[in-house]
Amino acid sequence: MILTLTPNPSLDRTIELPGRLERGEVQRAAAASAHPGGKGVNIVRALTASGTAALALLPGDPGDDVVLALGREEIPHLSLPIGAPLRSNVAITEPDGTTTKVNEPGPALSAAQLASLLKLAVEKSDGAAWLVLAGSLPPGAPDDFYARVIAAVRATYGPDSPRIAVDSSGAPLAASVAASPDLLKPNAEELAELTGIGDGPSLEADPFMAASAAASLVERGVGAVLATLGSRGAVLVTADGSWLAKGPVIAAKSTVGAGDSALAGYLLASQRGDTPAECLQQAVAHGAAAASLPGTLVPSLKQTHPADVAVTALTPVKEK
């Protein structure tokens, strides 16, 4: 079982334009769609589509649009009522795949509600293979909320704790590093901000620099870093080595959720017992498949093509 915690979920609305976005103009949409979202929710959607057991934990009242959408799509979930509506995010996509997003802040959760959410994550972590802490935090939540969840889970289960992954940004991502998660999944911009090495474009263009930045996090106690580099693929760095994976050239329709699908592919492969390089290969295959789909659709395993993803070692792999 792969468990995800999404403290600030959303209803993700996608508007597809037939041409370029014209700022300040009135334009007609070619299509529109809406799906339950938030990083952890998207990961569970992708895992469920691929037949992997997963459960999404999130705040949300039973009649909330996000929770109702999860039920309609038959996505395994467990929600904690908060007495407030969840947010909506809007993504506007252009024919060439350019995506403009507007994300609402979401409802603030009280200290008691955050404590209940943490408790729920600890309780449901019993027997889980992975716990993924994903997305932004609600307004007012402490920056170290994810670090607190990691500490509570490990204090409860010790050596039987699930492996823990964090996919966030800004202060919550930075605060989680000190808790030594088993996996971090930043994009190039987040990796640069987190390490102070380069910037987003330079890390995307130079996988060796990206691997060096990721290695600095491994040296600080992070188990592994899966850094997505947009259309240039991804790098994976562990204490045993580093790898670069490049996917096939695709016609991108929407990049919304591509990083979430990449992490889902990595976790799926990890569940199969794949090697780190193979996990990276499946991650990039999942991300590429997601980018080739419209809106916030997520790919199933059969829609991915890992054989088309080239993986090369950036450093010699250490022998065990």
Handedness of CA 289, 293, 297, 299 (dihedral sign): negative
Give me the residues paired with residue 127 across strands.
none
- Structure token pair of residue 154: 């490990």
- Whether domain 2-227 has CATH 3.40.1190.20: the reply is yes
Q: How far apart are the first and last CA of the chain?
A: 28
Give the predicted TM-score (pTM) of the model. Answer: 0.92
Give residue limits of the domains in the chain: 2-227
Question: What's the pLDDT tens digit per position in 83-103?
Answer: 999 999 998 989 888 889 899
Instruction: Enumerate the H helices of the chain as residue ranges.
Output: 39-49, 65-72, 111-124, 145-157, 170-177, 188-195, 200-205, 207-219, 258-272, 276-291
pLDDT, one tens digit per residue, over 209-242 is: 999 999 999 999 999 999 999 889 999 999 999 9
For residue 260, indicate whether it is catalytic: yes
Q: Which of 143, 182, 260, 274 is catalytic?
A: 260
Q: Rounded CA gap, 181 and 151, in Å? A: 10
Identify the CA nearest to 46 among candidates 188, 192, 256. Answer: 256
pLDDT in tens, the chain (320 residues): 999 999 999 999 989 999 999 999 999 999 998 999 999 999 999 999 999 999 999 999 999 999 999 999 999 999 999 999 999 999 898 988 888 989 999 999 999 999 999 999 999 999 999 999 999 999 999 999 999 999 999 999 999 999 999 999 999 999 999 999 999 999 999 999 999 999 999 999 999 999 999 999 999 999 999 999 988 999 999 999 999 999 887 777 767 678 899 999 999 999 999 999 999 999 999 999 998 887 678 888 999 999 999 999 997 656 55
Q: Hey, is 199 helix, strand or coil?
A: coil
